[in-house]
Structure 1
């Protein structure tokens, strides 16, 4: 089936730029692989560089960084710390004071919602971008450029859901932009003119009709409406919840999309000549398939680029089918606004190699509570199959920083561990069970497998029935209606799985401090509606992520208000 296109292959200048882009991407991957020959030496080089560069800063003088030489020296001089501990120093930088955490001034402050929902200010300096960010950033696109070269040949072949440039940036007190990483033009700000992500030159990258800066839902509609007239072959979301929302949005907005295409309008605004042929084709799709999916609209779809672990591991297999039976999901880097951890250099479905050239990395067993004096492990001490808190120090002004992510060691390749994202360090602890995201996700995946069922998403909430012990109530949005027998089996298997994953949960259940798991079944679109509603309230889509533990009573009530069948089992 043919698909209408809005652009053609670029002129020779575009081809020349693509050649240079691919060369840079492969060069950075090669350099990173070369560093794997002696990762311990590279870690020592990173440490020496950040100590020397920042020794004269206010933080450097306060912690005597100029006298430190080894990682043990750093451990003795600087405690393990989180954003709250560093925020007084960061606020001084945000107000314009120079030479606080870093020797060069921040060009921008990345925003990050974090685990609390409060907007962090992550200082981003030119030196950090050059030595820590850009090498890993370019390397991250190497598997796409190598194995899916056609998705890069046209600007409109990639629908980049997280790209949202804004004309007026929020700023700190010093006037520096305070924005998401996806809202920064790295070419203009840092001189890296090859750094524009795939899809950021698409016709919908800069919307040609007026729309309020904070109306993120309307922006998503406008881009989707424009994209249905192109041969999209790749969707980039990073945050998988954004990718999961796309098929839902296609269904919700279908009549409006078709009308806009037929009339040549964009959100009702004049846009281009009416495209009655494409509109008729879209109507035929709806008449034939009933439910129109991305695979029908874009039959040449090949690739999704997003995080593939955590809660996404529950729904990504079925979600891929929405985009097409042969679609590949490549894992986005294990990284945060504060810095990179792992990057996939091949087509492994979940894991990326530790970026030994970016930061000095330390790790703590994920079941151990973090504190200023907690003992840490080096990369060479990690064990496959275990999970760890990540602590990093880099030239951008973060020292022994516990960002909140937990990683799982998948294996070791070329002498360095390969890591997958296991979840946030959030712990649910109603009765001494200390459950982590990754433990619950594995128990959920195992329980669903017992009955051969699938879920679109899940969340849990601790409630205390009158006269009883606290218990976990799980809200699951299934792909289909479950029978009473299937529900009972999954509930029992989930309780067993949690006890298997967590010794604390098992002990609490055995002692009667926790009651048995309960299950509440939601309709298939419950989590998608919640995601859509959150974006409609003005939260940027990249920051609306899957959340497993839900202890806010009002949030839980809203999520579960339209339960599809039965009561808690």
Structure 2
């Protein structure tokens, strides 16, 4: 983020384009020698941080090669580094990094606790900003007109805080989208598209934790602008907009007519626009983003994972011909892949950002897990991501799984393929990506469509095997015959994706899966409820595995298809 004045500068767009294209050009040049660039990344982080307590413990000053680094430093998760990070967050210097963290990015851990990801000036300069600006290059190149007006972009992830939480040392502990990179790191062009829109900083008071009201207020303001691009990163946020338009429709129309915002006098009443909205509702019944913003051009979000099941139809709700641009493969901890073109799902490995290692996605990660280097990866395979960068994360298993799509110039192109968590109740060891591919196979074979899906293992009665229950939200109603065929095909596809699942089914350790049909908007309502409970929208992501019985009941209890018949105890 940066100042509003930058966005109104007459030559800002040309300077912005020059920056993003320059960073992409430099990354493409680096891809001509990926192994050499990876060695230089390692040399830089070792030299810069060799005098830290962590660097001294692991002998950074003696390490010269990638192999020596891999032998010296174990593969680590956040819990392994947490004691070091907490010391840095308390203000102790020279712990993990030679320069002090300026902020700590927040990220949800597997336990639900918020991680503290240290963010140093050197990390931002050498790892983050080159990747960050490159990520916007396809948008700036092919959709330059959406950047010409601040209010042409609805940036759903932009969420500045009036009073950001801090660590014990007073450093901000916030999401990446809540940091003013211009003020904090001296990057005046770093404001994301849409952050200077009229809704970028809300003009009426609202509590920082009232995320639903903030989303409403931004949408209320945006309906009076000619929005041409929606940025969500998290696709669940993009999917929520049509639902929210319908959910808040009467309130939106009333406030546009009256010129109010959040019930307060705000601007000149606009009865003409309100009347136009009423005509749209009369004509279409349900008003969609395509009706409100007829010049919509592009959506920017992750396009893989569960979103791959619903994005094709969701895109239609934003308008014919709307393009989906994939957000980069990245986490709060650091970047992995970034699109250098308009590939619909994958990005090239950011060889200048970190030293990357990978492990087979079916392996259990441990301190001594064997890893592969980028040139050893195979197309159409899934891998755990392990990276090391100058910001203080060393051989860090980020918890994401990626799939290698292909290679361009010797550099693998990767797509995000879900979290590394396993669903393993009877030795089936199912990964998110395997289940999503199985769902896609069964849907394709039957011609059926869903707006989302989730699963859990139902508790078995004595003497019976546990079995998976899949909650699906059909876009259009399914018949009983269609549901039965889909269930059979899904069971087969799961066995194809995971031999462990197939063996567990064959041996009787898992029973026959069942399907629970929900209403089309069940998952959207569940998403809205979770945001309403106080979770930031960026962190309410699609979740496939939902073993928590209360969360499952909340999702399914109010939203069943009327013809669904299922025994919750047995899963049948």
Report if TM-score (shorter chain) is over 0.5. yes
2:6–2:188 contact (8 Å) kept in structure 1: no
Deviations, residues 271-302 of structure 1 (Å, cap 9, x unaligned): 10001111111110000000100000000001
Deviations, residues 77-108 of structure 1 (Å, cap 9, x unaligned): 11000000000000000100000000000000
Does 2:157 correspond to 1:162?
A: yes
Does 2:140 correspond to 1:129?
A: no
The match for 1:558 is: 554
The match for 2:216 is: 221
Counting only pairs closer than 5 Å after superposition, residues 476-487 of structure 1 correspond to structure 2 as 476-487=472-483
| Equivalent of residue 426 in structure 1, options 417, 421, 424 | 421
Structure 1 residues 11, 79: CA separation in 2 closer, same or farther (over 3 Å shift)? closer
The match for 2:569 is: none
The match for 1:567 is: 565
For the residue of structure 1 that corresponds to 2:10, the secondary structure is helix
Give the TM-score of the pair, scaled to structure 1: 0.97
Q: 1-side partners of 2:20 and 2:530: how far apart?
A: 35
Structure 1 position 537, deviation (Å): 0.8
The match for 2:449 is: 454
Q: 1-side partners of 2:164 and 2:286: how far apart?
A: 39
The match for 1:318 is: 313
Deviations, residues 454-479 of structure 1 (Å, cap 9, x unaligned): 11111000013313101100000110
- List, as ranges, runs of 4+ consecutive aligned residues in structure 1 with deviation greater than 3 Å: 10-13
The match for 1:6 is: none
Structure 1 position 15, deviation (Å): 2.8
Does 2:531 correspond to 1:547?
A: no
Q: 2-side partners of 1:115 and 1:153: how far apart?
A: 40
Deviations, residues 2-36 of structure 1 (Å, cap 9, x unaligned): xxxxxxxx999623111100000000000000001
The match for 2:73 is: 78
The match for 2:203 is: 208
| Equivalent of residue 383 in structure 1, options 378, 382, 387 | 378
Q: 2-side partners of 1:11 and 1:214: how far apart?
A: 29
Counting only pairs closer than 5 Å after superposition, residues 106-505 of structure 1 correspond to structure 2 as 106-466=101-461, 467-505=463-501
Deviations, residues 206-235 of structure 1 (Å, cap 9, x unaligned): 111111111010000000000000000000
2:7–2:196 contact (8 Å) kept in structure 1: no
For the residue of structure 2 that corresponds to 1:111, the secondary structure is strand
2:7–2:150 contact (8 Å) kept in structure 1: no
Structure 1 position 512, deviation (Å): 0.7
The match for 2:531 is: 535
Structure 1 position 260, deviation (Å): 0.3
Structure 1 position 114, deviation (Å): 2.7
Deviations, residues 29-53 of structure 1 (Å, cap 9, x unaligned): 0000000110000000000000000
Q: Number of residue pairs matched?
A: 560
For the residue of structure 1 that corresponds to 2:98, the secondary structure is coil
The match for 1:514 is: 510
Structure 1 position 267, deviation (Å): 1.2
2:442–2:493 contact (8 Å) kept in structure 1: yes
Structure 1 position 451, deviation (Å): 1.5
Q: 2-side partners of 1:314 and 1:444: how far apart?
A: 8
Q: 2-side partners of 1:84 and 1:350: how far apart?
A: 31
2:358–2:372 contact (8 Å) kept in structure 1: yes
For the residue of structure 2 that corresponds to 1:329, the secondary structure is strand
